[in-house]
Structure 1
Amino acid sequence: MPNYRRAYAPGGTFFFTVVTYNRKPIFSDEESREILGEVVRECRRDWAFEINAIVVLPDHIHAIWTMPRNDSNYSARWSRIKKEFTKRWIDTGAVNLTVSPSQQRERRRGVWQRRFWEHTILDSDDFDARFDYIHYNPVKHGLVRCPHDWAASSFHRWVEKDVYPKHWGCSCTNPVTMDFGEIEGACGEPI
Protein backbone atom coordinates (compact mmCIF):
# COMPACT_ATOMS: atom_id res chain seq x y z
CA MET A 1 0.00 0.00 0.00
CA PRO A 2 1.34 3.47 -0.82
CA ASN A 3 2.65 5.61 1.98
CA TYR A 4 0.64 8.83 1.75
CA ARG A 5 2.38 11.81 3.27
CA ARG A 6 0.76 15.09 3.96
CA ALA A 7 2.52 18.41 4.26
CA TYR A 8 1.68 19.91 7.63
CA ALA A 9 2.83 23.47 8.32
CA PRO A 10 1.40 25.34 11.31
CA GLY A 11 -0.22 28.52 10.05
CA GLY A 12 0.13 27.31 6.46
CA THR A 13 -2.18 27.93 3.55
CA PHE A 14 -3.40 24.88 1.62
CA PHE A 15 -5.39 24.11 -1.52
CA PHE A 16 -7.76 21.13 -1.28
CA THR A 17 -9.85 18.97 -3.57
CA VAL A 18 -12.43 16.75 -1.84
CA VAL A 19 -14.41 14.39 -4.08
CA THR A 20 -17.61 12.40 -3.60
CA TYR A 21 -17.53 8.63 -3.91
CA ASN A 22 -17.59 7.61 -7.58
CA ARG A 23 -18.19 11.29 -8.34
CA LYS A 24 -21.86 11.05 -7.40
CA PRO A 25 -23.47 14.50 -7.86
CA ILE A 26 -24.41 14.78 -4.18
CA PHE A 27 -24.21 18.58 -4.14
CA SER A 28 -26.63 19.05 -7.04
CA ASP A 29 -29.45 19.87 -4.64
CA GLU A 30 -29.80 22.84 -2.31
CA GLU A 31 -30.44 20.73 0.80
CA SER A 32 -27.10 18.94 0.58
CA ARG A 33 -25.27 22.26 0.06
CA GLU A 34 -27.06 23.71 3.09
CA ILE A 35 -26.04 20.73 5.22
CA LEU A 36 -22.45 21.11 4.05
CA GLY A 37 -22.50 24.82 4.90
CA GLU A 38 -23.82 24.12 8.41
CA VAL A 39 -21.18 21.48 9.04
CA VAL A 40 -18.35 23.70 7.79
CA ARG A 41 -19.53 26.64 9.92
CA GLU A 42 -19.73 24.41 13.00
CA CYS A 43 -16.25 23.04 12.35
CA ARG A 44 -14.85 26.58 11.96
CA ARG A 45 -16.54 27.63 15.20
CA ASP A 46 -14.93 24.76 17.13
CA TRP A 47 -11.58 24.61 15.27
CA ALA A 48 -10.58 27.93 13.78
CA PHE A 49 -9.35 28.21 10.20
CA GLU A 50 -9.84 30.74 7.44
CA ILE A 51 -11.55 29.84 4.18
CA ASN A 52 -9.82 32.00 1.60
CA ALA A 53 -11.74 30.53 -1.34
CA ILE A 54 -14.22 27.72 -1.90
CA VAL A 55 -16.41 26.30 -4.64
CA VAL A 56 -18.88 23.44 -4.26
CA LEU A 57 -19.60 21.58 -7.49
CA PRO A 58 -22.02 18.65 -7.86
CA ASP A 59 -19.33 16.02 -7.17
CA HIS A 60 -16.39 17.82 -5.58
CA ILE A 61 -15.19 20.75 -3.54
CA HIS A 62 -12.13 22.95 -4.00
CA ALA A 63 -10.98 25.20 -1.19
CA ILE A 64 -8.05 27.23 0.06
CA TRP A 65 -7.69 27.30 3.83
CA THR A 66 -5.26 29.16 6.05
CA MET A 67 -4.62 27.42 9.34
CA PRO A 68 -4.11 29.14 12.70
CA ARG A 69 -0.54 30.05 13.60
CA ASN A 70 0.14 27.06 15.87
CA ASP A 71 -2.11 24.53 14.14
CA SER A 72 -1.67 22.38 11.05
CA ASN A 73 -4.34 19.73 11.56
CA TYR A 74 -6.49 20.25 8.48
CA SER A 75 -6.97 16.48 8.21
CA ALA A 76 -8.99 16.41 11.44
CA ARG A 77 -11.16 19.23 10.15
CA TRP A 78 -11.86 17.51 6.81
CA SER A 79 -12.54 14.27 8.66
CA ARG A 80 -15.09 15.98 10.88
CA ILE A 81 -16.72 17.79 7.96
CA LYS A 82 -17.02 14.59 5.93
CA LYS A 83 -18.28 12.53 8.88
CA GLU A 84 -20.87 15.09 10.06
CA PHE A 85 -22.09 15.81 6.54
CA THR A 86 -22.51 12.08 5.88
CA LYS A 87 -24.53 11.51 9.06
CA ARG A 88 -26.84 14.46 8.47
CA TRP A 89 -27.26 13.87 4.76
CA ILE A 90 -28.17 10.21 5.31
CA ASP A 91 -30.59 11.26 8.08
CA THR A 92 -32.58 13.29 5.52
CA GLY A 93 -33.73 10.01 4.02
CA ALA A 94 -33.15 11.32 0.51
CA VAL A 95 -30.29 8.93 0.01
CA ASN A 96 -30.12 5.57 -1.70
CA LEU A 97 -26.57 4.35 -1.17
CA THR A 98 -25.21 0.94 -2.00
CA VAL A 99 -22.03 0.10 -0.16
CA SER A 100 -19.82 -2.91 -0.70
CA PRO A 101 -19.01 -5.39 2.07
CA SER A 102 -15.48 -3.95 2.30
CA GLN A 103 -16.90 -0.43 2.70
CA GLN A 104 -19.18 -1.72 5.43
CA ARG A 105 -16.21 -3.30 7.24
CA GLU A 106 -14.34 0.00 7.01
CA ARG A 107 -17.45 1.91 8.21
CA ARG A 108 -17.56 3.88 4.97
CA ARG A 109 -20.93 5.00 3.72
CA GLY A 110 -20.35 5.54 0.00
CA VAL A 111 -20.51 9.33 0.22
CA TRP A 112 -16.86 10.48 -0.04
CA GLN A 113 -13.68 9.23 -1.61
CA ARG A 114 -11.38 8.03 1.15
CA ARG A 115 -8.76 10.70 0.77
CA PHE A 116 -8.47 14.25 -0.43
CA TRP A 117 -5.84 16.17 -2.36
CA GLU A 118 -3.90 18.89 -0.67
CA HIS A 119 -1.22 21.25 -1.88
CA THR A 120 0.79 23.61 0.28
CA ILE A 121 0.55 27.12 -1.15
CA LEU A 122 4.12 28.13 -1.90
CA ASP A 123 3.90 31.86 -2.60
CA SER A 124 1.55 34.62 -3.74
CA ASP A 125 1.70 33.51 -7.40
CA ASP A 126 0.73 29.97 -6.38
CA PHE A 127 -2.09 31.34 -4.21
CA ASP A 128 -3.39 33.58 -7.02
CA ALA A 129 -3.37 30.75 -9.59
CA ARG A 130 -5.30 28.37 -7.34
CA PHE A 131 -7.63 31.15 -6.17
CA ASP A 132 -8.53 31.82 -9.82
CA TYR A 133 -8.76 28.08 -10.54
CA ILE A 134 -11.33 27.64 -7.78
CA HIS A 135 -13.50 30.48 -8.98
CA TYR A 136 -13.30 29.49 -12.65
CA ASN A 137 -14.01 25.80 -11.95
CA PRO A 138 -17.79 25.84 -12.63
CA VAL A 139 -17.04 27.33 -16.07
CA LYS A 140 -14.26 24.79 -16.68
CA HIS A 141 -16.75 21.98 -16.04
CA GLY A 142 -19.37 23.52 -18.34
CA LEU A 143 -21.87 24.11 -15.54
CA VAL A 144 -22.17 27.84 -16.26
CA ARG A 145 -20.72 30.32 -18.74
CA CYS A 146 -19.55 32.80 -16.10
CA PRO A 147 -18.25 32.43 -12.54
CA HIS A 148 -20.85 34.92 -11.28
CA ASP A 149 -23.60 32.50 -12.35
CA TRP A 150 -22.48 29.83 -9.85
CA ALA A 151 -23.98 30.46 -6.41
CA ALA A 152 -21.97 27.89 -4.41
CA SER A 153 -18.72 29.83 -4.61
CA SER A 154 -16.78 32.45 -2.68
CA PHE A 155 -16.46 34.34 -5.97
CA HIS A 156 -19.35 36.62 -4.98
CA ARG A 157 -17.65 37.62 -1.72
CA TRP A 158 -14.51 38.60 -3.63
CA VAL A 159 -16.52 40.61 -6.17
CA GLU A 160 -18.05 42.56 -3.25
CA LYS A 161 -14.52 43.23 -1.94
CA ASP A 162 -13.37 44.44 -5.40
CA VAL A 163 -10.86 41.61 -5.81
CA TYR A 164 -12.63 40.49 -8.99
CA PRO A 165 -14.75 42.46 -11.42
CA LYS A 166 -18.23 40.90 -11.65
CA HIS A 167 -17.63 39.63 -15.20
CA TRP A 168 -14.17 38.14 -14.61
CA GLY A 169 -13.77 34.89 -16.54
CA CYS A 170 -17.14 35.44 -18.18
CA SER A 171 -18.03 33.96 -21.56
CA CYS A 172 -21.45 35.59 -21.92
CA THR A 173 -20.32 37.87 -24.72
CA ASN A 174 -16.83 36.69 -25.70
CA PRO A 175 -15.48 33.17 -25.22
CA VAL A 176 -12.85 33.05 -22.49
CA THR A 177 -10.37 30.23 -22.12
CA MET A 178 -8.14 29.97 -19.09
CA ASP A 179 -5.25 27.54 -18.88
CA PHE A 180 -4.77 25.85 -15.53
CA GLY A 181 -2.99 22.78 -16.90
CA GLU A 182 -0.34 22.51 -14.21
CA ILE A 183 -2.96 22.70 -11.45
CA GLU A 184 -5.45 20.33 -13.06
CA GLY A 185 -2.98 17.48 -13.21
CA ALA A 186 -2.10 17.84 -9.54
CA CYS A 187 -5.43 18.23 -7.78
CA GLY A 188 -7.53 15.20 -8.60
CA GLU A 189 -9.35 16.84 -11.48
CA PRO A 190 -9.88 15.12 -14.79
CA ILE A 191 -7.88 17.04 -17.38
Structure 2
Amino acid sequence: MYEYRKLTPEEKAQLVKQRLSRGYPPHSPPHTVRDRPFYLLTAACYEHKCHLNSESRRQLLLDMLFEKFIANDVEILAWVILPNHYHLLVHIVNFDVLGNLFRSIHGVTSRQWNLEENLRQRKVWYRYSDRAIRSQTHYYNSLNYIHYNCVKHGWVQSPYDWVHSSVHWYFQEYGRQWLRDCWVQYSVQDYGNGWDEYE
Protein backbone atom coordinates (compact mmCIF):
# COMPACT_ATOMS: atom_id res chain seq x y z
CA MET A 1 0.00 0.00 0.00
CA TYR A 2 2.72 2.47 0.98
CA GLU A 3 4.93 1.74 -2.03
CA TYR A 4 1.93 2.15 -4.33
CA ARG A 5 1.42 5.72 -3.13
CA LYS A 6 4.95 6.62 -4.22
CA LEU A 7 4.38 5.51 -7.82
CA THR A 8 3.63 7.85 -10.70
CA PRO A 9 0.17 7.59 -12.30
CA GLU A 10 1.75 5.71 -15.22
CA GLU A 11 3.48 3.25 -12.87
CA LYS A 12 0.23 2.70 -10.94
CA ALA A 13 -1.66 1.98 -14.17
CA GLN A 14 1.04 -0.46 -15.29
CA LEU A 15 1.02 -2.24 -11.92
CA VAL A 16 -2.78 -2.60 -11.93
CA LYS A 17 -2.66 -3.91 -15.52
CA GLN A 18 0.00 -6.45 -14.53
CA ARG A 19 -2.01 -7.61 -11.52
CA LEU A 20 -5.17 -8.02 -13.57
CA SER A 21 -3.28 -10.00 -16.23
CA ARG A 22 -2.24 -12.47 -13.51
CA GLY A 23 -5.84 -12.81 -12.31
CA TYR A 24 -5.26 -10.77 -9.13
CA PRO A 25 -7.60 -8.08 -7.80
CA PRO A 26 -6.37 -4.60 -8.78
CA HIS A 27 -5.37 -3.51 -5.26
CA SER A 28 -6.19 -6.21 -2.67
CA PRO A 29 -3.73 -8.87 -1.58
CA PRO A 30 -4.31 -11.91 -3.82
CA HIS A 31 -5.39 -15.12 -2.11
CA THR A 32 -3.91 -17.43 -4.71
CA VAL A 33 -3.23 -20.60 -2.69
CA ARG A 34 -6.44 -21.80 -1.08
CA ASP A 35 -5.98 -25.53 -0.61
CA ARG A 36 -3.30 -25.89 2.06
CA PRO A 37 -3.99 -26.85 5.68
CA PHE A 38 -1.67 -24.27 7.29
CA TYR A 39 -1.40 -20.51 6.75
CA LEU A 40 0.40 -17.52 8.17
CA LEU A 41 -2.21 -14.76 8.41
CA THR A 42 -1.40 -11.09 8.90
CA ALA A 43 -3.69 -8.12 9.51
CA ALA A 44 -2.57 -4.55 10.05
CA CYS A 45 -4.17 -1.37 11.23
CA TYR A 46 -4.73 1.14 8.46
CA GLU A 47 -1.50 3.05 7.77
CA HIS A 48 0.01 1.05 10.63
CA LYS A 49 -1.46 3.36 13.25
CA CYS A 50 -1.38 1.93 16.77
CA HIS A 51 -5.08 1.38 17.42
CA LEU A 52 -4.26 -1.68 19.55
CA ASN A 53 -2.64 0.72 21.98
CA SER A 54 -3.62 -0.94 25.25
CA GLU A 55 -3.39 -4.41 26.73
CA SER A 56 -7.17 -4.49 27.08
CA ARG A 57 -7.66 -3.89 23.33
CA ARG A 58 -5.08 -6.51 22.43
CA GLN A 59 -6.73 -9.00 24.78
CA LEU A 60 -10.19 -8.20 23.41
CA LEU A 61 -8.95 -8.86 19.87
CA LEU A 62 -7.24 -12.09 20.89
CA ASP A 63 -10.36 -13.33 22.68
CA MET A 64 -12.51 -12.53 19.64
CA LEU A 65 -10.10 -14.25 17.28
CA PHE A 66 -10.14 -17.45 19.31
CA GLU A 67 -13.91 -17.39 19.76
CA LYS A 68 -14.74 -16.75 16.09
CA PHE A 69 -12.01 -18.92 14.60
CA ILE A 70 -12.78 -21.95 16.77
CA ALA A 71 -16.48 -21.62 15.90
CA ASN A 72 -15.50 -21.86 12.22
CA ASP A 73 -13.10 -24.82 12.52
CA VAL A 74 -9.97 -22.68 12.30
CA GLU A 75 -7.32 -23.65 14.86
CA ILE A 76 -4.93 -20.91 15.97
CA LEU A 77 -1.52 -22.53 16.51
CA ALA A 78 0.58 -19.41 17.19
CA TRP A 79 -0.11 -15.70 17.54
CA VAL A 80 1.27 -12.29 18.36
CA ILE A 81 -0.88 -9.18 18.79
CA LEU A 82 1.09 -5.92 18.47
CA PRO A 83 -0.12 -2.30 18.74
CA ASN A 84 -0.53 -1.91 14.97
CA HIS A 85 -0.76 -5.42 13.48
CA TYR A 86 -0.99 -9.10 14.30
CA HIS A 87 0.11 -12.47 12.97
CA LEU A 88 -1.56 -15.86 13.30
CA LEU A 89 -0.40 -19.33 12.33
CA VAL A 90 -3.51 -21.39 11.68
CA HIS A 91 -4.77 -24.78 10.62
CA ILE A 92 -7.83 -24.39 8.42
CA VAL A 93 -10.29 -26.74 6.77
CA ASN A 94 -12.21 -24.23 4.61
CA PHE A 95 -10.17 -21.26 3.40
CA ASP A 96 -13.31 -19.48 2.23
CA VAL A 97 -14.42 -18.65 5.80
CA LEU A 98 -11.48 -16.28 6.36
CA GLY A 99 -12.87 -13.23 4.57
CA ASN A 100 -16.07 -13.21 6.61
CA LEU A 101 -14.20 -13.88 9.85
CA PHE A 102 -11.87 -10.92 9.37
CA ARG A 103 -14.71 -8.63 8.26
CA SER A 104 -16.74 -9.58 11.33
CA ILE A 105 -13.91 -9.16 13.85
CA HIS A 106 -12.51 -6.00 12.30
CA GLY A 107 -15.99 -4.49 11.92
CA VAL A 108 -16.85 -4.97 15.60
CA THR A 109 -13.50 -3.72 16.88
CA SER A 110 -13.49 -0.70 14.53
CA ARG A 111 -16.91 0.36 15.70
CA GLN A 112 -16.09 -0.13 19.37
CA TRP A 113 -12.79 1.74 19.24
CA ASN A 114 -14.21 4.60 17.20
CA LEU A 115 -17.03 4.97 19.75
CA GLU A 116 -14.49 4.93 22.59
CA GLU A 117 -12.54 7.75 20.93
CA ASN A 118 -15.64 9.64 19.77
CA LEU A 119 -14.69 9.31 16.12
CA ARG A 120 -16.94 8.52 13.17
CA GLN A 121 -16.12 6.30 10.22
CA ARG A 122 -12.38 6.26 10.88
CA LYS A 123 -10.73 3.43 8.96
CA VAL A 124 -9.08 1.20 11.56
CA TRP A 125 -8.05 -1.93 9.64
CA TYR A 126 -6.41 -2.64 6.32
CA ARG A 127 -6.98 -5.91 4.43
CA TYR A 128 -5.59 -9.19 5.69
CA SER A 129 -2.99 -11.22 3.85
CA ASP A 130 -2.25 -14.93 3.88
CA ARG A 131 0.77 -17.06 3.13
CA ALA A 132 0.33 -20.79 2.61
CA ILE A 133 2.77 -22.85 4.66
CA ARG A 134 4.78 -24.94 2.25
CA SER A 135 6.82 -27.32 4.41
CA GLN A 136 7.86 -28.21 7.94
CA THR A 137 10.75 -25.75 7.70
CA HIS A 138 8.40 -23.00 6.57
CA TYR A 139 6.02 -23.86 9.44
CA TYR A 140 8.66 -23.55 12.16
CA ASN A 141 10.27 -20.49 10.55
CA SER A 142 6.82 -18.89 10.68
CA LEU A 143 6.37 -19.91 14.31
CA ASN A 144 9.69 -18.28 15.23
CA TYR A 145 8.89 -15.22 13.13
CA ILE A 146 5.64 -14.75 15.04
CA HIS A 147 7.31 -15.09 18.42
CA TYR A 148 10.18 -12.76 17.50
CA ASN A 149 7.99 -10.13 15.86
CA CYS A 150 7.60 -8.03 19.02
CA VAL A 151 11.40 -7.78 19.25
CA LYS A 152 11.82 -7.13 15.53
CA HIS A 153 9.54 -4.09 15.79
CA GLY A 154 11.25 -2.79 18.93
CA TRP A 155 8.44 -3.22 21.43
CA VAL A 156 10.49 -5.38 23.81
CA GLN A 157 14.01 -6.81 24.18
CA SER A 158 12.90 -10.43 24.55
CA PRO A 159 9.94 -12.36 23.14
CA TYR A 160 9.17 -13.45 26.70
CA ASP A 161 8.50 -9.82 27.65
CA TRP A 162 5.51 -9.48 25.31
CA VAL A 163 2.24 -10.59 26.91
CA HIS A 164 0.09 -11.15 23.82
CA SER A 165 2.11 -13.88 22.19
CA SER A 166 1.86 -17.65 22.07
CA VAL A 167 5.51 -17.93 23.12
CA HIS A 168 4.24 -18.23 26.70
CA TRP A 169 1.96 -21.15 25.78
CA TYR A 170 4.83 -22.92 24.00
CA PHE A 171 7.08 -22.26 26.99
CA GLN A 172 4.55 -23.90 29.34
CA GLU A 173 3.84 -26.83 27.02
CA TYR A 174 7.34 -27.58 25.70
CA GLY A 175 9.81 -25.64 27.84
CA ARG A 176 12.56 -23.13 27.16
CA GLN A 177 14.96 -25.71 25.69
CA TRP A 178 12.44 -26.74 23.03
CA LEU A 179 11.97 -23.09 22.07
CA ARG A 180 15.75 -22.56 21.94
CA ASP A 181 16.29 -25.66 19.81
CA CYS A 182 13.49 -24.56 17.49
CA TRP A 183 15.07 -21.11 17.23
CA VAL A 184 18.48 -22.56 16.33
CA GLN A 185 17.16 -25.12 13.85
CA TYR A 186 14.66 -22.81 12.11
CA SER A 187 16.24 -19.40 11.82
CA VAL A 188 14.21 -16.33 10.92
CA GLN A 189 17.16 -14.53 9.37
CA ASP A 190 15.99 -13.08 6.04
CA TYR A 191 12.53 -14.50 6.74
CA GLY A 192 10.27 -13.91 3.77
CA ASN A 193 13.01 -14.09 1.14
CA GLY A 194 12.74 -17.09 -1.15
CA TRP A 195 9.22 -18.05 -0.03
CA ASP A 196 8.87 -20.55 -2.81
CA GLU A 197 12.07 -22.36 -1.81
CA TYR A 198 10.30 -23.77 1.27
CA GLU A 199 8.63 -26.54 -0.76
TM (normalized to structure 2)? Answer: 0.72
Q: Which has the higher helix share?
A: 2
- Read off the aligned partner of 1:39 and give its amino acid letter: M
Partner of 2:142: 130
2:95 paired with 1:72:
yes
Matches within 5 A, 1:170-185: 179-183=188-192
2:46 paired with 1:21:
yes
Structure with larger Rg: 2
Given the alignment, which residue of 8, 29, 37 partners 2:34? 8
Partner of 2:62: 37
How far 1:33 moved relative to its partner? Answer: 1.3
Partner of 2:157: 145
Greater mean alpha carbon deviation, residues 48-57 or residues 76-85: 76-85
Overall identity of the aligned pairs, in %: 24
- Read off the aligned partner of 1:86 and give its amino acid letter: S
- Quote the RMSD (CA, aligned, Å): 2.6
Given the alignment, which residue of 117, 121, 146 partners 1:94? 117
Could you tell me which runs of 5 or more consecutive residues in structure 1 were left unpaired when the two chains were aligned.
100-108, 170-177, 187-191
Where do 4+ consecutive residues of structure 1 move more than 4 Å?
166-169
- Read off the aligned partner of 2:163 and give its amino acid letter: A
Matches within 5 A, 1:41-60: 41-60=66-85
- Read off the aligned partner of 1:81 and give its amino acid letter: I
Could you tell me which runs of 5 or more consecutive residues in structure 2 were left unpaired when the two chains were aligned.
1-15, 182-186
How far 1:95 moved relative to its partner? Answer: 5.3
Kindly indicate whether the alpha-carbon contact (under 8 Å) linking 1:54 and 1:63 is maintained by their aligned counterparts in 2.
yes
2: CA distance, partners of 1:13 / 1:95 = 39
Distance 1:133 1:87, change over 3 A: same
Kindly indicate whether the alpha-carbon contact (under 8 Å) linking 1:53 and 1:131 is maintained by their aligned counterparts in 2.
yes
